[in-house]
Amino acid sequence: MSVERRRVRVRGVVQGVGFRPFVYALAGELSLTGEVWNDPGGVVAVVQGEEKDVEAFCERVRDDAPPLAAVEDVAWQGESPVPGSGFVISASQGSGGRTLVPADVATCEACLAEMSDPGDRRYRHPFITCTACGPRFTIVTGLPYDRPMTTMARFEMCADCAREYADPTDRRFHAQPVSCHNCGPVLELENPRADGSGASLRHREEALGRAQALLARGAIVAIKGLGGYHMACDATDEEAVARLRRRKRRGDKPFAVLVPDLVTARLVCEVHDAEADLLTSPRRPIVLLRRRRMSGDGVQAVEAVAPGNPDLGVMLPPTGLHHLLFRPASPGGAVPLQVLVLTSGNLAGEPIATDDDDARTRLGDIADAWLRHDRPIHVPCDDSVTRLVDGAELPIRRSRGYAPLPVPLPFEVPALLAVGGDLKNTFAVAHGRAAWLSAHVGDMDDLATQETFDRAVAHLSELVSVTPQGLVADAHPGYRSAAWAARRSRTGGVPLARVQHHHAHVAAVMAEHSLPAGARVIGVAFDGTGYGDDGAVWGGEGLIAGYDGYERLAHLSYVPLAGGDASVLRTYRMALAHLRSAGVDWTGDLPCVAACPPDERRVLARQLETDLACVPTSSAGRLFDAVSSIAGVCHEAGYEAQAAMELEGLARDVVEVEKQAYPLPLVAHPSDPERLVWDCGTLVRAVVADVLDAVPAAVVGARFHRGLARGVVEYAVTARERTGLDVVALSGGVFANALLTSLVESGLRDARLKAVRHRRVPPNDGGLALGQVVVGARRLAPSMRPSTGSEG
C-alpha cells in the first residue's frame, strides 16, 4: 500500500458553517490521520493515509461540504508522510489573507426540535443555535471568525456548553454563538408605560408571557431581532395597526407580517410550492405573496397592514425568540396571536436601530414595551425582501441571510469599493472574481444613514480583507454617496470612476448572468430617476451596452419635471405635465386635474410655460405616476412607487381578460435621426380617451402595462435589426413590477429574443453597486497598480 500525505487548503464560505467537524468526520470515515484548523484564508487540513483515500478526501471535501458552506477552491500539495495516529481539530492560526464570513441563518430543524422538547436542556431557549444555524454576520466584530471576535465573547460558556463546543463529534462543535439557559443572553421585557416604574422583567417566561399579553391587548412591542429592532403589533387589530402607522410616520407603506409556520402563511396568502421554499429557506426573507381576500380560519391581516396592495410581505420566524412568540407559555395554555405585523424599528428614512440605548432614544415614541436581550448586534442588517415571478426569484432587497455572501463576477477585478446610489443604498467591495454586497443601508439623505454607511464600509472591507485601491460612484453631481467617494479619493489618493446610473443597472444584470468582458446587450433600464449625460433626469432608457460603455439608442420622450420632489410626491403634477406635453387640455372631467388645487394649477401652468424650475425627464417611474393619477388611482404618493404599485395591483385582476394595449410608438428622435424615442404623448391621449369614456381604472392599468411591455419589445426588435444583438437585459426599479416583468419577458420570448433579468440582486438601486463594480473595473484597471488588495 502506498501512503500519501497532503496539505489541503479550502477557500470560500467555510468558517462558522460546521466545516471542521465535517472534515473530522470525513477523515474518520476514510481512516486518515492528521489535523484541520481555521486560518484567515479558510480551512487547512493535513491528511495522511492510503493514496486512494487521500484522493477521495480531496474530492469529497468539496462535493459533500455542509449545506451552508460555499467552497470556492480546493488546492493541495504533497508532503512527506510522518508517523502518527488519530485526527485532531487544532486551534485557529495566523492573520492576513481572506476568509468569508457566513450570513445569518434561521433556526434549523434540529434546534427547533430540541427547543420543543420539554426534556431537552435547551427547551424554549430563545437563542438556540448550532453550526448549521444562528447569527453570524451581525455578530462578527473581526477576524478570524472565532468566539472572541463575536459579540458572544462576553458570555462565558457553562461546562455543558463548553463540552459541546469542544467535542468534534457534536453538532455544536465550535458553533460560535452556542449558549443555553445557564450561560446565554438574557431575555428581558421592559414595559415603562404600564406602571410608570420602568421596572423590567428579566425572567424568560414572564418576559415572553407579558409580551404576548401586551400584543394581544393591541400594544406595540419593540423586539430585538438578528439585525436590528423590529416593531410588532397585532396584524388583526385595525386600531393597533393604525396606531403603529401614526407613530412610525409611515403613510400607507405596506407592513410585513410574521407568522409561525407555513400553514398559517397559507391562511393569510396564496403560497405556491416555490414560494414555500423561499419562505422556509435558511435565509428567511420576507416573501411578497398574493393576499387572500377571504379569511381562511379567522386568521386575517387587516386591510390597513398593506392598504390598496394585492400582495402581502410574509416572513416565518428567523430565530428561536420569534418562534416562542407564537407558542403558549405552558402546555395547554392560551394560544397567543398568530399573525403579527413586523416592521423595521426606525422612523421613515432612518437606518434600523440596533444599539439598545439608541433604540430607546429613537423608538421611544413608537414602542409601548421592549422585548430585548443583552447580546449586542454589531452591524445593522434589515430583513431581505423577495418575490417569485414566473417561477424565478426576483429580489427586492438583498440583506439579512444574503449579506455578506459573495456574488461571483464574470471577470477579474482589482480591489474596489463601489458606493452604490443615494436611495436604498447598498455598496459593494470587490476583488478577483467576487463582489461582496453590503446589507441594505438606507437613504443617504439621512445623517444617521451616512454614519451607518461609514461603519458598514469599514466592517465589510475588514471581513473580506479587501483594501480598496479604486472607487466607483454614480455620475450624479448631487449624490452624497458620490461626494463621500470623491472625498475618500482625494484623501486616500485612490482613483475614482463615475458611472452613469442606467449603464450601471444594465451592467449589473450582465454581471449576474456571467456575460463575458466583451459582451454587448440590448439594455432596457426603467426606473424613477438617474442622472443623465445631458443633465436631464433619465429613467426610461434603451441602451446598447457593454461593460466598457453604452449608446443611448432610445428613451421615453421628455416631459418637464416641475419642482423636483413636489412632482414625485404629488403625482397629479406629473399627470398634468404629461397632459400638457401630449396637447391635452386640463379639463376638470379628468380626476388628476380635479385633484390639483386651482392655485397650484395656475402656478404649475406658468411653470410649464416658462420652463422655470423644470428639468426634462424620461422617467418610466414618473410615467407610471402620471397614468395612475390620470386614471384616478393615486394622486399623492405616501411612499416610493405607491402610485405604480396600486395601478399594478388593479391591473393584475383583469389583465388575463383585458388584451388591449395602449400604443407607445417608437419614433425617430426629433434632433438625431439615428436615435429613437418612445412617444408618450400618443399613449397619454389613449389613456385620457378611456378615462373620459369611464373605462374602469383596472382596465386602464392593464392596457397601460401591456402597452409599455409592447413598446419595450418593439424597441428590442428594432435594436436587434440594427445591431445583430439578441440578448435583452432588463433592469431598474420599474422591473420590480411583477406584471410588467412578466409581460415583457413573454413578449421577448415570442419575438425570439433572450431576456436576462435580476435573480440575485435587486433591479432597483439596491443592485446598482454590482454594476458599478464591473463598469468601474474596466475603466480603472488599466491605470491601477497590478498588485492590489491584501490577499496573502
- Residues found near Zn ion in the complex (CB under 5 A): 108, 111, 130, 132-133, 158, 161, 180, 182-183
CB of 133 to Zn ion, least distance (A): 3
CB of 179 to Zn ion, least distance (A): 5
Q: Which is nearer to Zn ion, 181 or 290 (CB)?
A: 181
Helix axes 51-63, 19-29, angle to 10 degrees: 150
CB of 318 to Zn ion, least distance (A): 12
Dihedral pair phi/psi, residue 140, rounded to 5°? -80, 125
Q: Which is nearer to Zn ion, 162 or 242 (CB)?
A: 162
CB of 173 to Zn ion, least distance (A): 12
CB of 280 to Zn ion, least distance (A): 14
Q: Which is nearer to Zn ion, 9 or 171 (CB)?
A: 171
Q: Which residues contact 661 (CB under 8 A, 6 or more apart)?
A: 703, 706, 707, 709, 710
CB of 201 to Zn ion, least distance (A): 22
CB of 381 to Zn ion, least distance (A): 19
Q: Which is nearer to Zn ion, 105 or 677 (CB)?
A: 105
Q: Which is nearer to Zn ion, 264 or 319 (CB)?
A: 319
- The SS3 call for residue 571 is helix
**For the stretch 78-100, what's the b/e string if a residue is b when 16 or more beta carbons lie within 10 angstroms of its beta carbon?**
eeeeeeeeebebeebeeeebbbb
CB of 60 to Zn ion, least distance (A): 23
Residue 501 and residue 538 in contact, taking contact as beta carbons nearer than 8 Å: yes
Q: Which residues contact 482 (CB under 8 A, 6 or more apart)?
A: 419, 473, 474, 475, 476, 498
Helices (H) and strands (E) in the chain, counts: 24, 30
CB of 501 to Zn ion, least distance (A): 42
Dihedral pair phi/psi, residue 737, rounded to 5°? -75, 110
For residue 294, give the C-alpha cell.
377571504
How far, in whole angstroms, is CA 473 from its chain's centroid?
20
Q: Which is nearer to Zn ion, 19 or 715 (CB)?
A: 19
Q: Which residues contact 622 (CB under 8 A, 6 or more apart)?
A: 528, 539, 559, 561, 567, 568, 574
Q: To which residue does cell 393584475 refer? A: 652
Q: Which is nearer to Zn ion, 114 or 383 (CB)?
A: 114
Q: Which is nearer to Zn ion, 158 or 615 (CB)?
A: 158
Q: Which is nearer to Zn ion, 180 or 592 (CB)?
A: 180
Q: Which is nearer to Zn ion, 158 or 666 (CB)?
A: 158
- The SS3 call for residue 277 is helix
- CA torsion, ordered 492, 486, 382, 289, to nearest 10 deg: -140
Q: Which is nearer to Zn ion, 203 or 455 (CB)?
A: 203
Residue 287 and residue 279 in contact, taking contact as beta carbons nearer than 8 Å: yes
Q: Which residues contact 219 (CB under 8 A, 6 or more apart)?
A: 233, 240, 368, 369
CB of 276 to Zn ion, least distance (A): 20
Q: Kindly state the helix (H) or strand (E) to which residue 457 belongs, with its residue range.
A: helix 447-463
CB of 109 to Zn ion, least distance (A): 8
Write out the DSSP string of 331-370: TT-----S-EEEEESS-TTSPPP-SHHHHHHHHTTT-SEE
Q: Which is nearer to Zn ion, 161 or 302 (CB)?
A: 161
How far CA 113 is from CA of 53, 81, 121, 129, 260, in Å, comes to 36, 44, 12, 12, 15
CB of 325 to Zn ion, least distance (A): 18
How far CA 224 is from CA of 227, 588, 621, 787, in Å, comes to 8, 51, 35, 43
CB of 175 to Zn ion, least distance (A): 8
Q: Which is nearer to Zn ion, 93 or 182 (CB)?
A: 182
Helix axes 680-692, 697-723, angle to 10 degrees: 160
Whether the upstream peptide bond of residue 404 has omega within 30° of 0, thus cis, is yes
Q: Which is nearer to Zn ion, 132 or 631 (CB)?
A: 132
- The SS3 call for residue 212 is helix
Q: Give the separation between CA 627 and CA 700, rounded to whole angstroms.
A: 9
Query: Could you tell me how many residues make up the chain?
Result: 792
